[in-house]
Structure 1
Amino acid sequence: MSIETEPGTPAPAPPTSDKLDRGVLLTAGVVVLGAIMSILDITVVSVALKTFQSEFDATSAQVAWTMTAYTLALATVIPLTGWASDRFGTKRLYLLAVALFTIGSVLCATASSLELLVTYRVVQGLGGGMLMPLGMTILTRAAGPERVGRVMAIMGIPMLLGPIFGPILGGWLIDAASWHWIFLINLPIGVLAIGYASVVLPRDDVEPSETFDWLGMVLLSPGLAAFLYGVSSIPAAKEEHGTLWTAQVVAPAIIGALLIAAFVPWALNRRNLHPLVDLRLFGNRTMTVAVIAMALFAIAFFGSSLLFPLYFQSVRGEDALSSGVLLAPQGVGAMITMPIAGVLADRIGPGKIVMAGVAVCTIGMALFTQIGADTSYAYMLTALFVMGLGMGCTMMPMMSAALATLREHTIARGSTLMNIVQQVAASIGTAVFSVLLTNGIIDLDPSDETSFLTGMADAYADVFVVATVMVGLVLVPAFFLPRTKVEHVDPTVLVGH
């Protein structure tokens, strides 16, 4: 089947070409720069929360808004990205996203109060929220469906390594300079990304035809923001009030869920020719299975990711910088398998690759169910390396399985849909594992240090049991992913035009 291209979009290489040509690699460099800024920023800022408390004389709940505001801005803008990229062109929108993120970063560095910092984090989030779905769209269009596995492997590098090396960079910048530099470091990267993208990305030549789904925006964007706010408030509510059922959690979560639920029939209504997020894409079986697998994996992976640095810091007494360094084997493992998995996913289909990756990841996670207060670092670093080997074969092949079935204008909508699911799943996972850990340590007596540390280690081991089961469950949808080369399909069949 031939692949049509939009004006101004580079034609993908012929299906017989296995190698990523120079143009695709240059485009990948643009996308990776933007992804690095967006993903690193989340983990770098998490290291600075205690610094913000002392700097602004604030409580932990107050400084948590520096994270929450960014997440809510992401949730608000991601649904708009698919329509906006079709309407204005991916290059223009990408340059705008990088510019917004860079300007927001500089403003954050100048913040003289916590209120200003939170406000500027919203500006950052509005730009950052567009970078990942836009990056996926740009890369998939440039490489073509036949090579989407390899370009998604490139995209996955910052996605998997950001949570590992973010704390290292953040801890070093705060120790060596000041908290302002965790934001200022984005200025040279942003300027470089804007200049690079201006030269490398082809000129947009779009012919806007789609109307904007105003009702969809009114329902979905605030719905996602409210739901994620309620979910992200769960750990604080549990810690402060001992229950999840507080007004701060329940009210926004219910309101958000109702708005999202109201969006579903509207998005599927035949009269709505161009919904804000195209749920009709779920008519594509491979897309549906890949999204389910990715959601389950995101809950388990992003949720359990917070456990590792917390264990090193609270049980073993490591600082943020040291705990970040100790997580490096996970990144090394992912770097080894990710490019191999990308090539194999394109050649033999993602199903076998993802199932193998999930199995290896489950084994690595299971090793952590046996940890104690004095478990050797060699054992834990080996377990992290095994997990990394598995992770390199999972999330990005899942995404490539879905995107490889799409064509042209549906690619932007597909990447938007997948980023929304991933963001929601990650927030749910973080809340679930935070609550499980809080329940495990809430009754411990800190007066007896030895028994306290032993009890904490046991609590972590128990939570890792849940994480192991959740990762293992990803095998179920992964079983239904294609085990042969993925064929892209006619989008008019999917969207019912």
Structure 2
Amino acid sequence: MDANGRRVLAVAILASFVAFLDGAIVNVALPAIRAELGGGLAGQQWVVNAYLVTLGALILVAGSLSDLHGRKVILRVGLIGFLLTSVAIAAAPTIEFAIAARALQGIAGALLVPSSLALITTHFGEATRGRAIGAWTAATSAAMLVAPLIGGLFIDLASWRWAFLINVLPIGVTLWLLAGLQTPDVRRPGARVDLIASALCALGLGGVVFGLIEGSRLGWGDPLVLGAVIVGAALFAAFLLRERRSPEPVMPLELFRIRNFWAGNLATTFIYAALALNGFAVVVFLQETAGFPATLAGAASLPITVIMILGSSAIGRWADRIGPRLFMTAGPAIMAVGAALLLTAGDPFDYWLQMLPGVVLLGVGLTVTVSPLTSAVLGSVEDGREGIASAVNNAVSRVAGLLVVAVIALIAGGDLTLQGFHRTAIATAVLFAAGAIASWAGIRNSPRA
């Protein structure tokens, strides 16, 4: 890899790092936000999901924008927007303001991940792409997983507000590296952006999520809850219908005719729903039920970080040679066992005996899974469509997390007490197992592998 290639990889990693860092920190900050701004469990769910609604809906538009205007332009706009909204969240006077700022931050975050991955796939050839994606996976996943520790330190030593300002420095460094990047920008002539479809998608997801979150509080028979779910589902159905007929869709449904694309996204749905459920449940349970300070609750995931840093690049190289199917099957199966081991959590709680073994298996399984999954999905589409393929896959992962966090109160049976945590562990294990089955049944290795 030459100097410019290393710079491309650094920009892609740092741009995604910003989005993943903030997304992971917010879970650790939830108890402190609840204590200062109120809102209860529903408020905590909305702080997470306001970001995921706009991210999940508009990440599709970001893929088209990346293909239309170029990866570097979209990355620059996303980085500046993320910086401004981070400052707004840190200054939030009420829970409603924080939720609104998180929704705006989701718009900026939607511009970062698909463009950064597309930057990798357009710069690196097939021989080195898996290795580059493996390095991207290791670094960004490590950021996502070490963020709770960093956020916890800020929360315990200062305030949860400072935790949202952590990304100011990496954003500045990324903008500087991006300005000196020598790689020519890639644009797809004739690409268009369907704003009506984007609005249908965002409103549809928002309505369904509103009903799922507020149903636990207002009651599932409440007219507002039923109306939100029905209208949201109808709007999302209208979005899919428009995509089927649109000459330039934001989510090209014909991509789902490609076997590894649809199978990879099906596996993504189960795996990332499980990861979102586990990430939310563990840090909230450790703080609100087990009595851990934010720093120790964040440090609970450090073994996963270490394992991913050590193993992701090697897994990326092996998947290039062997093919992704074995890795995408074994990884979620290992994580299912790890999630099941969380059922050993009891009263009194012992992290070393009751949680660490499961966390280690989650780290091993995640390392085995993520890089081959990304390579399988992006490698299945034709050149020039990596931006939208990356956007669709990221949208699928975010929407999966969005929906499972929306029903976490239903899964846990209320708050995250010990019994509620056990119920989320069972649901997490089932979702991981479903991801393993989907991968084995759907993914096929390329003839080259």
* Superposition TM-score, scaled by structure 1 size: 0.81
**Deviation (angstroms), 1:203:** 3.9
Equivalent residue for 2:387, pick from 412, 418, 430: 412
Separation in 1, partners of 2:87, 2:206: 24
Equivalent residue for 1:396, pick from 371, 391, 400: 371
Structure 1's 252 and 400: CA in aligned 2 closer, same or farther, altered over 3 A?
farther
Corresponding residue number in structure 2 for 1:268: 244
**Deviation (angstroms), 1:388:** 0.6
Q: Say whether 1:345 aligns with 2:332.
A: no
Separation in 2, partners of 1:70, 1:410: 26
Q: Say whether 1:466 aligns with 2:427.
A: yes
Q: How does 1:39-58 map to 2 (within 5 A)?
A: 39-53=20-34, 55-56=36-37
Separation in 2, partners of 1:207, 1:294: 27
Q: Given residue 263 of structure 1, which amino acid in structure 2 is its aligned partner?
A: F
Corresponding residue number in structure 2 for 1:12: none
Structure 1's 281 and 486: CA in aligned 2 closer, same or farther, altered over 3 A?
farther
Q: What are the ranges of 5 or more consecutive residues in structure 2 without an aligned counterpart?
A: none
Structure 1's 322 and 244: CA in aligned 2 closer, same or farther, altered over 3 A?
farther
Q: How does 1:35-114 map to 2 (within 5 A)?
A: 35-53=16-34, 55-56=36-37, 61-62=42-43, 65-114=46-95
Contact in 2 for aligned 1:79/1:220 (Cα 8 Å): no
**Deviation (angstroms), 1:188:** 2.1
C-alpha RMSD of matched pairs (Å): 2.8
Q: Say whether 1:255 aligns with 2:231.
A: yes
Contact in 2 for aligned 1:49/1:60 (Cα 8 Å): no
Of all paired residues, the percent bearing the same amino acid is 25
Corresponding residue number in structure 2 for 1:6: none
Q: Say whether 1:424 aligns with 2:399.
A: yes
Contact in 2 for aligned 1:164/1:328 (Cα 8 Å): yes
Contact in 2 for aligned 1:347/1:485 (Cα 8 Å): no
Separation in 1, partners of 2:447, 2:367: 19
Structure 1's 373 and 286: CA in aligned 2 closer, same or farther, altered over 3 A?
same
Separation in 1, partners of 2:44, 2:282: 22
Equivalent residue for 2:274, pick from 280, 296, 300: 300
Corresponding residue number in structure 1 for 2:440: 479
Separation in 1, partners of 2:80, 2:380: 32
Separation in 2, partners of 1:229, 1:405: 35
**Deviation (angstroms), 1:338:** 1.8
**Deviation (angstroms), 1:82:** 1.9
Bigger relative contact order, structure 1 or 2 (CA pairs below 8 A, ≥6 apart): 2
Q: Say whether 1:144 aligns with 2:125.
A: yes
Equivalent residue for 1:332, pick from 306, 321, 324: 306
Separation in 1, partners of 2:407, 2:101: 28
Corresponding residue number in structure 2 for 1:444: none
Corresponding residue number in structure 1 for 2:344: 370
**Deviation (angstroms), 1:209:** 1.5
Contact in 2 for aligned 1:69/1:121 (Cα 8 Å): yes
**Deviation (angstroms), 1:323:** 1.4
Separation in 2, partners of 1:77, 1:169: 28
Q: Say whether 1:435 aligns with 2:435.
A: no
Structure 1's 196 and 273: CA in aligned 2 closer, same or farther, altered over 3 A?
same
1:439-493: CA deviation from partner (whole Å, max 9, x where unpaired): 597xxxxxxxxxxxxxx535433442332222112222211355544669xxxxx
Q: How does 1:229-248 map to 2 (within 5 A)?
A: 229-231=210-212, 233-234=213-214, 237-238=215-216, 240-241=217-218, 243-248=219-224
Separation in 2, partners of 1:92, 1:381: 43
**Deviation (angstroms), 1:428:** 2.0
Corresponding residue number in structure 2 for 1:14: none
Corresponding residue number in structure 2 for 1:184: 165
Contact in 1 for aligned 2:412/2:419 (Cα 8 Å): no
Contact in 1 for aligned 2:343/2:425 (Cα 8 Å): yes
Q: How does 1:302-317 map to 2 (within 5 A)?
A: 302-317=276-291
Aligned residues: 448
Separation in 1, partners of 2:337, 2:133: 24
Corresponding residue number in structure 2 for 1:153: 134
**Deviation (angstroms), 1:315:** 4.1
Contact in 1 for aligned 2:153/2:294 (Cα 8 Å): no
Corresponding residue number in structure 2 for 1:194: 175
Structure 1's 278 and 181: CA in aligned 2 closer, same or farther, altered over 3 A?
same
Describe the SS at the equivalent of 1:394. helix
1:154-175: CA deviation from partner (whole Å, max 9, x where unpaired): 3323553455333222221133
* Segment of structure 1 superposing worse, 472-481 or 211-220: 211-220
Describe the SS at the equivalent of 2:380. coil
Q: Given residue 22 of structure 2, which amino acid in structure 1 is its aligned partner?
A: D
Contact in 1 for aligned 2:151/2:298 (Cα 8 Å): no
Separation in 2, partners of 1:68, 1:477: 26
**Deviation (angstroms), 1:290:** 0.7
Separation in 1, partners of 2:135, 2:210: 31
Describe the SS at the equivalent of 1:363. helix
Contact in 2 for aligned 1:85/1:134 (Cα 8 Å): yes
* Superposition TM-score, scaled by structure 2 size: 0.89
